[in-house]
């Protein structure tokens, strides 16, 4: 007897295993159930907060030179433990591990590759703010028989067979795509089930809300400065409407808001650290989020190219990310093109345009 609700396992069996397609009966649904189990375990650990004894620094740095929190390592281990044994994976990559994690000899190997950011926005932990986890699933090339290595993972994001994130907020949600739209599941904590609550999420095409770390403004490229300035100019500027701004310092929380009500998220190319092409990592942040956003009708670009078409060069490669409502992202893409072709017209500050309160007095 059905109770009319769709649990994650029912959704996956209906969507993957009972439909003809390359991932039917391939084990992908079982792998995603194991990822969901990791997420439930992480949600339980996070809920205990400081009482869990896992707050604070781990006194170590990761491959990016960033200080690791104890919870960065704990959540990384939770993913490994839940996913290494099932015989479905050939290897794993994480923000918190330098190289490819090989499946231990005790377990069988499979055809899938899992890349993840176990704890996104981990600077929010100490302030009891929203954090998340992000994951991406690729399938090994059919002709690849050797143990999974770095090259196995260096594939364009459009080849992902599944991608998703968990958001640990007032409720825990899993948002997922296996290539047929983007769907959201809410964790029913007392039962332990993810229940489909947001079917086929669509990002509004237009929006007047943007998210960017404005403290980096002096390092941005001109097209991004132009876009943000025009938003800030509001009703009296060339966009002729007021815009709102948000910054949560967790890509998961920003993308979730955009899926729910539209908007643009930008961590653009900047010149703060010239050696870095961007802040966010391609394989386990930008690629899965781009897949989710495009499956919900949005766009995701570096500024100049579609993220899902990029061929990764390194496991921990960083990229600029601009994603969200399609008409806004298309506009930012146009601004980059105009700038690169030298067609960028200087924009006027609203302080000095014809509707300004600060119009210079005209001589009598």
List of residues 6+ apart from 141 with CB closer than 8 A: 152
Residue 279 binds to ligand AHG (criterion: CB under 6 A): yes
Residue 76 binds to ligand AHG (criterion: CB under 6 A): no
| Shortest Å, Cβ 241 to ligand AHG | 25
- Size of the residue set binding ligand AHG (CB under 6 A): 11
- Matching residue, tokens 């769907």: 183
* Nearer residue to Mn ion within complex by CB, 26 or 287: 287
Residue 294 binds to ligand AHG (criterion: CB under 6 A): no
Among positions 221-250, residues that touch ligand AHG (CB under 6 A) are 249-250
Alpha carbon 291 to its chain centroid, in Å, reads 9
List of residues 6+ apart from 96 with CB closer than 8 A: 62, 68, 72, 73, 76, 118
Residue 251 binds to ligand AHG (criterion: CB under 6 A): yes
Report d(CA 302, CA 320) in Å as an integer: 5
Query: Residue 220 gets which letter from DSSP?
Result: B
Q: Which partner in Mn ion, ligand AHG, none is near 249 (CB below 5 to 8 A by kind)?
A: ligand AHG
Kind of pairing, strands 209-211 and 193-198? unpaired
| Shortest Å, Cβ 323 to ligand AHG | 11
Residues forming contacts to Mn ion in the complex (CB under 5 A) are: 95, 117, 119-120
* Nearer residue to ligand AHG within complex by CB, 6 or 250: 250
* Nearer residue to ligand AHG within complex by CB, 63 or 213: 213
* Nearer residue to ligand AHG within complex by CB, 316 or 336: 316
Report d(CA 174, CA 188) in Å as an integer: 11
| Shortest Å, Cβ 252 to ligand AHG | 7
Kind of pairing, strands 264-267 and 89-94? unpaired
Work out which of 7, 186, 213, 317 binds ligand AHG, going by CB under 6 A. 213
Sequence-separated contacts (24+) of 20-28 with Cβ below 8 Å: 22/139, 22/161, 23/139, 23/161, 23/178, 26/111, 27/86, 27/87, 27/88, 27/110, 27/111, 27/112, 28/88, 28/112, 28/137, 28/161, 28/162, 28/178
Known binding-site positions for Mg(2+): 95, 117, 119-120, 285
Q: Which partner in ligand AHG, Mn ion, none is near 213 (CB below 5 to 8 A by kind)?
A: ligand AHG
CB 130 within 8 A of CB 168: yes
Among positions 154-183, residues that touch ligand AHG (CB under 6 A) are none
| Shortest Å, Cβ 353 to ligand AHG | 32
CB 87 within 8 A of CB 110: yes
Q: Which partner in ligand AHG, Mn ion, none is near 279 (CB below 5 to 8 A by kind)?
A: ligand AHG
| Shortest Å, Cβ 272 to ligand AHG | 9
Known binding-site positions for substrate: 120-123, 213
| Shortest Å, Cβ 267 to ligand AHG | 6
Among positions 89-128, residues that touch ligand AHG (CB under 6 A) are 95, 117, 120-122
Report d(CA 144, CA 30) in Å as an integer: 22
Q: The tokens of 93 are what?
A: 């990559």
| Shortest Å, Cβ 263 to ligand AHG | 14
List contacts with ligand AHG (CB under 6 A): 95, 117, 120-122, 213, 249-251, 267, 279
């Amino acid at each position: 007897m059905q109770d009319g609700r769709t649990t994650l396992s029912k959704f996956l069996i209906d969507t993957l295993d009972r439909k003809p397609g390359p991932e039917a009966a391939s084990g992908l649904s079982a792998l995603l159930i194991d990822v969901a189990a990791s997420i439930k375990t992480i949600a339980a650990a996070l809920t205990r907060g400081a009482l869990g004894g896992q707050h604070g620094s781990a006194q170590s740095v990761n491959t990016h030179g960033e200080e690791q929190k104890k919870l960065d390592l704990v959540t990384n281990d939770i993913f490994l433990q839940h996913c290494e044994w099932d015989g479905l994976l050939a290897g794993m990559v994480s923000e918190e591990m330098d190289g490819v994690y090989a499946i231990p000899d005790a377990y069988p190997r499979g055809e899938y590759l899992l890349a993840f950011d176990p704890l996104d926005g981990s600077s929010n932990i100490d302030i009891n703010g929203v954090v998340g986890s992000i994951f991406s699933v690729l399938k090994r090339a059919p002709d690849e028989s050797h143990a999974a290595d770095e090259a196995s993972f260096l594939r364009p994001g459009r080849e992902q067979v599944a991608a998703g994130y968990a958001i640990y907020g007032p409720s825990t949600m899993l948002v997922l795509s296996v290539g047929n739209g983007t769907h959201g599941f809410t964790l029913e904590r007392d039962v332990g089930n993810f229940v489909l609550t947001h079917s086929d999420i669509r990002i509004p095409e237009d929006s007047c809300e943007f998210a960017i770390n404005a403290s980096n403004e002096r390092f941005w490229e001109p097209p991004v400065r132009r876009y943000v300035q025009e938003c800030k100019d509001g009703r009296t500027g060339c966009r002729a409407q007021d815009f709102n701004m948000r910054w949560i310092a967790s890509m998961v929380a920003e993308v979730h808001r955009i899926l729910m009500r539209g908007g643009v998220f930008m961590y653009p190319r900047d010149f703060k650290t010239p050696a870095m092409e961007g802040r966010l990592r391609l394989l386990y942040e930008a690629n899965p989020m781009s897949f989710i956003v495009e499956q919900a009708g949005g766009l995701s670009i570096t500024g100049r190219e579609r993220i899902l078409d990029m061929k990764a060069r390194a496991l921990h490669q960083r990229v600029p990310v601009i994603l969200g409502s399609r008409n806004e992202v298309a506009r930012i893409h146009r601004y980059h093109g105009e700038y690169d072709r030298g067609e960028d017209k200087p924009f006027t500050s609203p302080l000095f345009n014809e509707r300004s309160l600060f119009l210079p007095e005209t001589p009598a």
